[in-house]
Structure 1
Amino acid sequence: MRYLPQPATGDIEFVAVMHALSDQVRLRLLATLADDAEHACAAAAEGIDVHKSTMSHHFRVLRESGLITTRQDGRNRFVSLRRTDLDTRFPGVLDAALTAATSLDER
């Protein structure tokens, strides 16, 4: 089991977080991860209609920006939201993003 590279809490950049949050697919992924549990990538992406390689790109952008952590166990990857780190670094930003993600589903 190993964790994929991600920025330390103090290295999470606001611009990178905002870039990651600027895509509807990534916002939908965040909404799935909002329960703070660890999810298999396939389960987190369920119901989002994009190609597998595109979904991998979205997970990478979220991880590299510091929004999620990814754990690899064999061939399986598991993702979880870095809520504590984000709330420490940028209080309120994650809650605003999750509110926006919820409004996407209402459309």
Structure 2
Amino acid sequence: MKSLSHPSINDINLEQILSALSEPTRLAIFKELYSAQDEKNCSSFSSLGQKNNLSHHFKTLRECGIIYVRIEGRKRCISLRNEELNKKFPNLLKVIYDNS
């Protein structure tokens, strides 16, 4: 099974998170995942843009450590790294969600 690389929690920094979430589409992806509090298929975000643009946004969010992408056959399942990020940056995701 193919897998994607994800940064370790030690390599995630606040500047990268805030920079990634300053883009409206990535912020919308974050908000959908945060409100769902569950894994979502990447196709469930199709209303936010074209597939190639969304792929770029998912990659940016994954590389800065906000999301985890799991490949299951032809599907990509996306989830927030909520628990890990809350350990490093307590309540950061809640504050961003509540104020955006």
Under a length normalisation based on structure 1, what TM-score does the superposition of the two structures give?
Answer: 0.84
Instruction: Give the equivalent residue in structure 2 for 1:39.
Output: 40
Indicate the structure whose relative CO is greater, using CA pairs within 8 Å and at least 6 residues apart. 1
CA RMSD in angstroms, aligned pairs only:
1.4
Deviation at 1:10, TM superposition (A): 1.5
The within-5 A match list for 1:1-107 is: 1-34=1-34, 35-43=36-44, 45-48=45-48, 50-101=49-100
Q: Deviations over 1:73-107 (max 9, x none)?
A: 12110000110111111112211221234xxxxxx
**Structure 2 spans left out of the alignment, 5+ residues:** none
**CA–CA distance in 2 between the matches of 1:68 and 1:100?**
19
Q: In structure 1, what residue type is equivalent to 2:76?
A: R
Shift in Å, 1:2: 4.5
**Unpaired runs of at least 5, structure 1:** 102-107
In 2, Cα distance between the equivalents of 1:20 and 1:6? 15
Any idea what SS the aligned residue of 1:47 has? Answer: helix
Aligned residues: 99
TM-score in terms of structure 2 length: 0.89
